[in-house]
Structure 1
Amino acid sequence: MPRSIWTGAISFGLVTVPVKLYSAVNRKTVRFNQLNAKTGSRIAQKRVDASTGEEVNFEDLVKGYEIASDRYVVIEPGELESVQPAKTKTIDIEDFVDLAEIDPIFYDHPYYLAPAAGGAKPYRLLLEAMRETEKVAIAKVVIRQKESLVAIRALQDHDVLEMATMLFADEVVDPERLDDIPGADDVKTNDRELAIAKQLVESLAGDFEPEKYHDTYREAVLEMIEKKAAGEEIVIAEEAEEAAPVPDLMSALKASLDAVRKTTDDDGDGADEQPKRKRPAASKSGASKAKSAAKK
């Protein structure tokens, strides 16, 4: 069962809602250790002075900010603590906005908020009010000595509040700074190309079902690890030849649309109807093997 990583209260107006914070994700990453190929032992990372090559004791380490090449401003622990945000236990709501107004690029890490002792009724009241008004709360909170901007919303399919930390505006790169993005005046498309492109989009349209998508690379790595641990030899397949490039954009669009229609027809859907992509069920074999490897 997940354990809460922070306890506090949501504050809006004169109302406080005691809450507990839970991480909403469980990152699935295959981690490797660096080993000595000759001995099979792990490699130890050491702190070495770049000028002398000697190892530095932990108690001799200080924080430094580089202001120029090899020029640093040394910051003492007490100096850093003097500018850290006050340690509060409150999620202070500053605004309520429409969900559609928030660009997904601002979202960082998701969490769940659950009611703490004595908070069931105000929690439920806030959840239903946000669901009825279809608003998202923008708030600030201090977690682990860092002030974060967060967005809180009521999930539609579950009676729970979800909180996502957000990037500040100056942390998001302005796309106008990209030199490689062509403007509408630089590249012209015709109505025929646009019509086929829209047909292709519609033919691939469907409901978002997140459980259909898998990290196939991670599953393949875990399967390979399981085989090597069992003493099997891993055969490295030769790289497949790249497909010949399609001569032009219109041909690529038509070929893509024809391929989707053929798949639809093969699945038994009517050819005269608007082609609708029928997504195959995800294979369970890779996932089961991955779980087995993870247990080992």
Structure 2
Amino acid sequence: MPETDSPSPFWSGTITFGMVTIPVSLVSATRSSAGVSLRQLAPDGAPLRRQYVCPDHERALEPDEIARAYELDSGQYVIMTDDELDALAPEASHDIELRQFVDRAALSPMLFERPYFLLPDSESTKPYHLLAQVLEATGRAGIATFVMRGHQHVVAIVADDQLLRAQTLRFVSELRTPATIGLPSPPDDLDEAQIQRLRAVIRAHTATEIAESELEDEARAQVLALAEQKLAEHRDVVQVPSDEPGPDAEIIDLMRVLQRSLARPA
């Protein structure tokens, strides 16, 4: 799959463990494209905006009227002020603190959240490549914590092809277990002949790597194709509402809007 963009680093810091420090930058390894982002429009074509409405008084609230609160099991709410929440926020830091190293196989795929590339952020890349080589050769992952955008994250730092990656990990409280969802235990009387037949089917369909076609977003492609078709037919293409409407009001190019939306960096 050819690369069509070059995202800029959005976080810079230092990997630290022991007496070792490695300046790095963080770059998202994915594009934020969950399908196609569609806007909601009013009957006159004006884009809608979200408002918070008080159900008791049936009126829209201003931002300074809105409080945040934690809901208790009893149905009561405990209000949290901005100052109280700011005091609980982790201290800003530019350190990725490596705390321990584990076998990569010991990390459940359920823990993985978002992938990032770690790029060397200095002219001296020897410490970076040294860490990458050792992690890759030993099959280990470094478990670290760091603060990004006001939140503390736990990450697994791994290496592939001499490149360091950081994979944010989910917290234990976010994970469900088979017991909590009522997953039944496997039966004791599995038929050996059926097992062998299934193994044969799996062997017949085994490939060395996953085909790119299996990872294509078909739903996204269909929506874009529909938008392109309707644009070509001049069908359902609406005008941009303006405070000063005029005879030369711009016509929305839906395809350009969609393409711009899909190309936004993560």
When the two structures are superposed, what TM-score results if normalisation uses the length of structure 2?
Answer: 0.81
The answer on 1:209 being equivalent to 2:215 is no
Distance in 1 separating the partners of 2:80 and 2:211: 45
Q: Alpha-carbon deviation of 1:232?
A: 7.6
Q: Secondary structure of the equivalent of 1:175?
A: coil
Q: What residue is the counterpart of 2:242 in the other structure?
A: none
Change in 2 beyond 3 A, CA 1:73/1:39: same
Q: Which has the larger radius of gyration?
A: 1
2:201 corresponds to 1:200: yes
For 2:219, what is the secondary structure of its paired residue? helix
Report whether the alignment pairs 1:165 with 2:168: yes
Secondary structure of 2:60 counterpart: coil
Structure 1: unaligned runs, 5 residues or longer? 234-289
For residues 5-44 of structure 1, what are the structure 2 equivalents within 5 Å?
5-28=10-33, 29-36=35-42, 38-44=43-49
Gap change, CA 1:6 and 1:81, over 3 Å in 2: same
- Equivalents in 1 of 2:16, 2:211: separation in Å? 33
Residue 117 of structure 1 and its aligned partner are, at CA, apart by 2.2
Are 1:11 and 1:93, in contact at CA under 8 Å, matched by a contact in 2? yes
Question: Shift of the alpha carbon at 1:40?
Answer: 2.6
Aligned to 2:246: none
Letter in 2 for 1:90: D
1:108 to 107, 113, 134: 113
SS of the equivalent of 1:179 reads coil
Q: Is residue 18–residue 118 contact of structure 1 (8 Å, CA) maintained in 2?
A: no
Q: Does 1:83 align with 2:85?
A: no
- The 3-state SS of whatever aligns with 1:201 is helix
Q: How many residues align?
A: 236
Percent of aligned positions with the same letter in both sequences?
Answer: 27
2:137 match: 132
CA pair 166-295 structure 1, distance change in 2 beyond 3 A: closer
Give 2:243's aligned residue: none
Residue number among 132, 143, 147 corresponding to 1:142 in the alignment = 147
Residues 8, 90 of structure 1: 8 Å contact kept:
yes
TM-score of the two chains, using structure 1 as the length reference? 0.74
**Cα deviation, residue 72, structure 1:** 1.3
**Segment of structure 1 superposing worse, 106-115 or 82-91:** 82-91
Moved more, 67-76 or 57-66: 67-76
- Alpha-carbon distance, 1:295 to partner: 6.7
Q: Residue 18 of structure 1 contacts residue 119 of structure 1 at CA under 8 Å; is this kept in 2?
A: no
**Of 221, 225, 228, the match for 1:226:** 228
Secondary structure of 2:195's match?
helix
Structure 1, residues 88-136: CA drift from partner, whole Å, max 9, x if none? 1111111111111111110000000001125512111111121222211
Q: Which residue of 1 aligns with 2:69?
A: 64
Q: In the alignment, residue 221 of structure 1 is paired with which amino acid?
A: V
